[in-house]
Structure 1
Amino acid sequence: MTRSHAAKRQSIINAAAAVFCREGLAGANIDLIAAEAGVSRQTIYNHHGDKEKLFDAVLRQVTDRCNARAYAVLDTFPDHPTDLERDLTDFALRMNKICLCCQDGEFLNKLIQLEGERHPELFDVWREEGPGKIESALAARFARLAYSGYLEIDDPDVAARHFMALNQSDIHLPSTFGRQLSDEQLLASTKCAVSTFLRAFGRKPIRTPETETIRG
């Protein structure tokens, strides 16, 4: 059965993602990708041009898929929390499981490790369209929590970057070596990240003469 134009194009993207992740940009070539996709090298040139353009197409598609997952999780952000630490932990855990501990998230992490230093310009689109947009959307939600009195934040963008960095800190290193945290480890890491975030940005209790007397 003959594959459609769209199916061929998708098989090339999937094969290229696998080859780039396995071989890196320097080690990958059109012949390897064509063999993995089950198409001719000329088909790849017709669809995408050279290797660098194909790499860019892969990054754009993976970024789009990651963004779709991230925005779906952002829709579950606790705008009106009943227990701020618990609700933020549940949200952060969903972000980790759905956006980071998935094939696309692991692919991006490995590819950035392989090529980010040698070819930073190749990741410009990913930086602008991926983390940049997600962090801005998260910052807006933290700003609303601060306005409602749940957090004390001077700069929501800084708070969003800190939240993401804390939440991802224990995930990246195992992912680099092809390993994942267990569910128990991921929950413990997420709880620690949110607790640390709230120590920095959580609303501080108001001190009164009575509370100072009790403390004394």
Structure 2
Amino acid sequence: MATEATRRVGGGRAAAKRAAVLAAARELFVVDGIERTSMDAVAARANVSKRTVYDYYGDKKSLFLSVLEDAGTSLLASLRAALDRHLSDAAPIGDLPALEDALTAFAVELGTTVIGSADYAAVFALVSEQRRTVAELQAHPLASLPEEALAERLGHFAGRGLLDAPDPRLAADHFNALTTLLAYSNEPDPTRADPDRVRRSMIDGVRAFVRAYGAR
């Protein structure tokens, strides 16, 4: 009978294999494209058997969605950490200028660190390639969770009388349009964007957002 320690070691090895398969698939999908990447190539890159890849993920479509989920989950964790650093309930934000400073710090971190990350680059590239052919991407929860997380914070500050935002989700969409979408509108590869230009665009976008939504 397997001991608890043996089961932990076995589980750890399985988790390591899964992580290796996801890392290999992500790299190959981004560099070579999903259609041109074979399960054999993924197995070879991950140093596991082809049977292991199929046992864990079933087929290439499921593997692709798992890669996207893994990268997206990491990306959302980074986003929520940035929100907590700058816009938490405990943040010293008592008036509109302080809120603008906090929103600016959040936007600059979002634009120069989170969106410039390898996780964002992977999600951006994979979704761009497969959005029209993979039905699950049309209504994937990762598509709306970032705006929903920001909307919750904007709703909080509207409730404190600092923002005039009766529809926080719409306000979050406008914030995104004025900051990240404008900053990266002409940049096909977010990881190669000029950080100084992105920073300036984020600052200007927050200023416009506060002018539109700031309570007077």
Q: TM-score, normalization: structure 1?
A: 0.82
Q: Match for residue 211 of structure 1?
A: none
1:77 to 66, 86, 90: 86
The ranges of structure 1 where at least 4 consecutive aligned residues each deviate by more than 6 angstroms after the TM superposition are none
Q: Match for residue 129 of structure 2?
A: 114
**Cα separation, 1, equivalents of 2:112 and 2:137:** 23
**Cα separation, 1, equivalents of 2:145 and 2:63:** 23
**Cα separation, 2, equivalents of 1:102 and 1:155:** 30
**Cα separation, 2, equivalents of 1:46 and 1:179:** 34
Consecutive unaligned residues of structure 1, counting only runs of 5 or more, are 205-216
**Cα separation, 2, equivalents of 1:172 and 1:180:** 13
Q: Match for residue 197 of structure 1?
A: 209
Q: TM-score, normalization: structure 2?
A: 0.82
Deviations 1:158-210, CA, capped at 9 Å, x for gaps: 00111123221223642x34652233112101112112212221224xxxxxx
Q: Determine if the alignment matches structure 1 residue 8 to structure 2 residue 9.
A: no
Deviation at 1:154, TM superposition (A): 2.3
Whether the aligned pair in 2 keeps the contact of 1:109 and 1:172 (CA below 8 Å) is: no
Whether the aligned pair in 2 keeps the contact of 1:171 and 1:180 (CA below 8 Å) is: no
Trace 1:62-211 onto structure 2 (pairs within 5 A).
62-78=71-87, 80-81=93-94, 83-119=98-134, 121-123=135-137, 127-128=140-141, 130-169=142-181, 170-171=183-184, 173-174=186-187, 176-177=188-189, 179-204=191-216
Amino acid at match of 1:151: L
**Cα separation, 2, equivalents of 1:131 and 1:115:** 14
**Cα separation, 2, equivalents of 1:115 and 1:135:** 22
**Cα separation, 2, equivalents of 1:142 and 1:5:** 41
RMSD (Å) for aligned C-alpha atoms: 2.3
Bigger radius of gyration: 1
